[in-house]
A and B are shown apart, each in its own frame.
Chain A
Amino acid sequence: MVALRLIPCLDVANGRVVKGVNFVGLRDAGDPVELACRYSHAGADELVFLDIAASHEGRATLLDLVRRTAEEVTIPFTVGGGIGSIDGITELLRAGADKVSLNSTAVRYPQLISQGADRFGCQCIVVAIDARRRSEAGKGWDVYIKGGRQNTGLDVLAWAKKVEEMGAGEILLTSMDGDGTQSGYDLELTRKVSEALSIPIIASGGAGSIKDIEDVLTKGKASAALLASLLHDGVLTVEEIKADLLRAGLPIRPING
């Protein structure tokens, strides 16, 4: 089987990393390209950049960042945030992104998923789903858009299946309940979506320990784990996580593989 993946995620705005990153000896802690290189050398399997400002004015800066990353980084990377049209997909892929991640626009205009997949191949269309557990126990999860500000009322499982049918190559599934808490991934959410679909699921939101990551990749059946504050705050390194997961017997690409 293909190795389970660890994917650092960098939030960027106006060409800079938003959350501080705790790396020893960084020349410029805010430069996404330098950070991307560091994570790549540390053994990250892929990278994700999320443009959280996603402003119209910031687009040229983002494209420049994507171009510079493509020059320097030799592992695949995904770019998301504010992609609203096939032109938006095209310009990011042309600038050198390997995949794009669609979120709010995919909900409002699902045809964009199939248009993108038809034109560029499903492997480069990731759909991000922000999920929040419904208040009534056992009633599933709602899909949120606009950075978690708006509840669409869509059921996460139903939406995930639709997204797969429309041609997405992968789903980036974020538990909003877990996001930033470091209290563990939502294993039930991740497992339910993974079991219902045949495309890979990237789990996100809640990683606080190596055990959490191991759990989401085994019990949660995710193909990849997205890592943010855990890495950026210096709690753990990619090396440490990979070494432990390898010891636990998981199929992981060795750091010098």
Chain B
Amino acid sequence: MRGLTLQEATNEASLGENMYGTGLAKGLMLTLRHFVDSFVDDLRYGLRKYSHATDNFGLRQGTEAKGVITVQYPDEKVAVPERFRFVPFLIVEDEDHPIRSGKDWCTSCGICAKVCPPQCIWIVRGNDPDTGRPVPEPEAFFIDIDICMNCGYCAEYCPFDAIKMDHDYELASYDRTSHHIHDKEKLSKPASYWRDIAPTRAYEEMLVRGTWEHKDAAKEARRGSASASTRSSSRAQEPQAEAAPAAVATSAEAAAAPAASAPVEGATPWSEDDAKREERRRKALERKAKRAAKSGG
């Protein structure tokens, strides 16, 4: 006989003097405690369990909770954290942006298509109809969401913050062939949406970029060419494939940005100091915009 006999093992588990079945009973006590705990928890929260108040939800899902809580999907849903990643979307400038309203942030540089592991991104680079030279804007953009593995690389390596991972995971449909290749129209969501679902990250990215809107908006404002829709082909650049996101957040650049973007609505995700700084910045931009409006006539 190889190994231990049962008797030896029970001795080893310091059960030698105990009656057979003690271990079993101990285990059952634990099951009983779990059973009772869940009711104690129910009593403690009472009908609040069914209320939509989020504070006790956080508590009952947290480290201090004892009982178990069942989330009644789809009547209730667990909100996903900011870094959660699901099928990506493209950012377009907010509707109320003075010069770039509805314009893509994407410059069609193709990096996301290269880093995509299952190769499910398809981009048609735009061409200037007059000169035939490429312009920094995609003509078409497709993501096959059946193939997308939600890895988040496209968002991570996009040098223009133009593609982001969404939080909306309810994408089921009855027909995959007509619904599961997302085109540019379906992919595009305003920048304000990103600020809503991921306020902290949007804020951090703003600091790196130096402006709430697309990098180019700031540049355009500096150059004084207010009309963003007429683009000369000389500006059409073929972005450097290896270009890392410019990590400059000079206050000069931030101040130069037009007063388009309102601060994030609702709760500010960052510290109070930041909020104050943000408020000061917003006011300064407002003043600047007024001055510009006056002098420009």
Q: Are A and B co-members of a single complex?
A: no
Q: Please report B residues at the A interface, Cβ cutoff 8 Å.
A: none
